[in-house]
Amino acid sequence: MPGSDTRPIAVLFLGDSFTEGFGLMPEQSFPARIQQKLEEINSSVKVMNGGISGDTVMDAYYRLSPLLRAHPDVEVLVVFLGANDLFNGISPEFSEGHFIKIIDHARQANPDIRIMISVLPVIPGLESNGREFEKIFPRLEQEYGVELLPFFLEGVMLEPELCLPDGVHPNAQGMSLVAGTVWQSVFIDRLL
């Protein structure tokens, strides 16, 4: 298990606006809330927010190398990407190829890195590409040995009272719920 030799675990969240915390204060993003929670329990786990609004899987792949160079202690990579690929009509095959590049590059940087990917379900209104996109994740799990996580925005995305006026991005209350999902699925179930 990462960090079992008493070194702190460093976790990098690679994502888009949902990870960055679009429209919110930096401390309201789910990676920041997770870091706060870890500090409250005196955990030595360190969390980094690698989310950039608008990123596709390809965009994030090209950002990964400098992120890993800047943070060579990363032992866990959590990937939450794909929504912008769907919204922009990018082919699932193209996106899958860049997911694979992310996996390969992370393992070249650290062969022992744990890679977790949040699945992306079919999003209402984007069913045509969505069904093919949804099939990517089981293949990545089977062929590349990544760990699949639940959809981080389950129960939040498209819920008006939990979203910003755009109806898509979580507001502060919604992001608190997202942080709870991530805390349970990533940290309680897998790292702590």
Catalytic residue positions? Answer: 17, 166, 169
Output the DSSP codes for 40-72.
HTT---EEEEEE-TT--HHHHHHHHHHHHHH-T
Distance CA 175, CA 80 (A): 14
Radius of gyration of the chain (CA): 16
Quick one: how many helices (H) and strands (E) in the chain?
8, 5
103: which 2 tokens? 């996996």
128: which 2 tokens? 């045509």
Quick one: DSSP state of residue 160? Answer: G
Distance CA 185, CA 169 (A): 20
